[in-house]
Structure 1
Amino acid sequence: MSPIRRLMALDLGTARTRSLTVCGSTIADRPSSIVRRSSTSGERDVVRPVRRGMVADPDACLRLVRMAVQDTLHYDPRPLEQVLAGVPVAASPGDRRAVRAAVTAVAGCEVRLVEEPLAAAVGAGLDVMDSRPCLLLDVGAGIVEAVAIERGAVTDAVALQLGATTGVGLVAYALENVVDMTAGLLRRLPEISRPAAPARGVVVTGGGAHQELLLHRLRATLRLPVRAASQPQHATVRGLMRLCLRPALAAGLTLSAR
């Protein structure tokens, strides 16, 4: 019997960074911040490497990734063989290169990038290979993305970057913007696909899925079933790990972030 490969799933978020390995029994969950000494004043500063879902400070991101990898060594000290890391659909080629560079420098192995809403859909248990479109709203601390997924690919997406969040969820103006952009995504579905929307509804992932007011406003506006995924804040990292463990499924997806 061949030994189990050491694979890692990595979700670099604006507020939280989550990692998981094949042999890990729990998801490692840490704040997406590091402390470093200012080069000018000499004082200790708290730095957030990821802002609005994108890498804002490459050097700090490198340290954050290193800490995330170290979090998993307790479960399996062997060298990593592959890392699947999430990126927003809205990430530019430069943003994607920044994530790949940081993870490759620390992990020293093959790194594959997966768009986070697609991974979140897998983690939420959705059949992403279905020919009927499914709608998913991923509500993070720095970026919110609404996507349509069909036959293993993100076929349409809209995003809202957040300048500020609170511990209780989206602020009022951001909440209404998220509802409006999700409604716009629904209206843009091809006419042939619209009848399937009520059957599949909308699944909400990310830490913001805990905000009941958001779910209520989505249901009232979209007039569709809306539900939060189980443990929605962990949907992306769970999905990344499922893709690690099911290479046939990963091969069937359109991973445009590779």
Structure 2
Amino acid sequence: MSPARRFLALDLGTARTRSLVLGGHAIADRPSAIRRRSSASGEADVVRPVRHGMVTDPGACLRLVRLAVQDTRIYDSRPLERVLAGVPVAASPSDRKMVRAAVAAVAGCEVALVEEPLAAAVGVGLDVLGSRPRLLLDVGAGIVEAVLLDGGVVTDAVALQLSATTGTGLTSYVLEGVVDMTAGLLRRLPAAARPAARERALVVTGGGAYQEQLLGRLRAALRMPVTAAPQPQHATVRGLMRLCLQPALASGPALSDR
């Protein structure tokens, strides 16, 4: 792949939006909330374009994407050739359409969507193309998704939307809900596949991976190793960029056109 090509990885999160351009030296990380002047009051209101990992305000999302793209121009000001953007597994076709439209309107180039837990797995170096199943839990500020990865695709998933988070992580009530849904996903595995999944451990990504109480409850409930990924909040955006750079993955089932 020619190093002259300009690719962008974009992770639109409920609380934070992260972007990374090919050849960039750092991940751009900004709050997803933006200020927009109200036509009625004339005062600036705080708008959250993304909730539960889904676009809820297309106009505000356009501005957020524009700011995220501008964040990367310090490294490379040439026009973009391709953008890989993350979406939750739980995103509906209309949710995906809104993300694609917002990004394409700003970037003016090809836009591909990748399911965020799959991108996160790639970002932390998991063997997503292997024939043995792998469990991953992606804990974001607006949505938590537990997925089963097998053969380069998400073969099963469960999700829990979050109405609010605290500075110390998930509340105790929500934490138990996350543990229960992850245990349920493990139970849905065929009995013959569970030993392999348990042996390979559960990897936790997203900012919630820093919550030791969550990790401890998962270990106790699942009775299997549970590890937090290094720099878990950056796993998705790093994985999106790796998908740009690895043709074997980027041309296969990893990309989502749903």
Using the size of structure 1 for normalisation, the TM-score is 0.98
1:101 partner amino acid: A
1:96 partner amino acid: R
1:46 partner amino acid: V
Deviation of 1:248 (Å): 1.7
Residue 88 (structure 2) aligns with: 88
Using the alignment, how far apart are the partners of 1:81 and 1:25 within structure 2? 19
Look up the SS of the partner of 2:136 in the other structure: strand
User: Does the 8 Å CA contact 2:114/2:254 hold for their aligned counterparts?
Assistant: no
Using the alignment, how far apart are the partners of 2:4 and 2:148 within structure 1? 34
Q: Residues 141-183 of structure 1: CA distance to partner in whole angstroms, max 9, x if unpaired?
A: 0000000000001000000000010111001110000000000
Using the alignment, how far apart are the partners of 1:76 and 1:86 within structure 2? 22
Deviation of 1:191 (Å): 2.2
Look up the SS of the partner of 2:256 in the other structure: coil
Look up the SS of the partner of 2:46 in the other structure: strand
Equivalences, count:
258
User: Where in structure 2 are the equivalents of 1:73-222 lying within 5 Å?
Assistant: 73-222=73-222
User: Does the 8 Å CA contact 1:38/1:45 hold for their aligned counterparts?
Assistant: yes
Instruction: Describe the shift of the 1:179–1:123 C-alpha distance in structure 2 as closer, same or farther (beyond 3 A).
Output: same
Using the size of structure 2 for normalisation, the TM-score is 0.98
Using the alignment, how far apart are the partners of 2:198 and 2:103 within structure 1? 39
Superposed structure 1 runs of 4+ greater than 6 Å apart: none
Look up the SS of the partner of 1:156 in the other structure: strand
User: Does the 8 Å CA contact 2:118/2:254 hold for their aligned counterparts?
Assistant: no
User: Where in structure 2 are the equivalents of 1:33-52 lying within 5 Å?
Assistant: 33-52=33-52
Using the alignment, how far apart are the partners of 1:3 and 1:125 within structure 2? 22
User: Does the 8 Å CA contact 1:8/1:84 hold for their aligned counterparts?
Assistant: yes
Range that drifts further, 16-25 or 193-202 = 193-202
Deviation of 1:231 (Å): 0.1
User: Does the 8 Å CA contact 1:115/1:257 hold for their aligned counterparts?
Assistant: no
User: Does the 8 Å CA contact 2:132/2:150 hold for their aligned counterparts?
Assistant: yes
Look up the SS of the partner of 1:85 in the other structure: strand
Deviation of 1:253 (Å): 2.8
Deviation of 1:2 (Å): 4.6
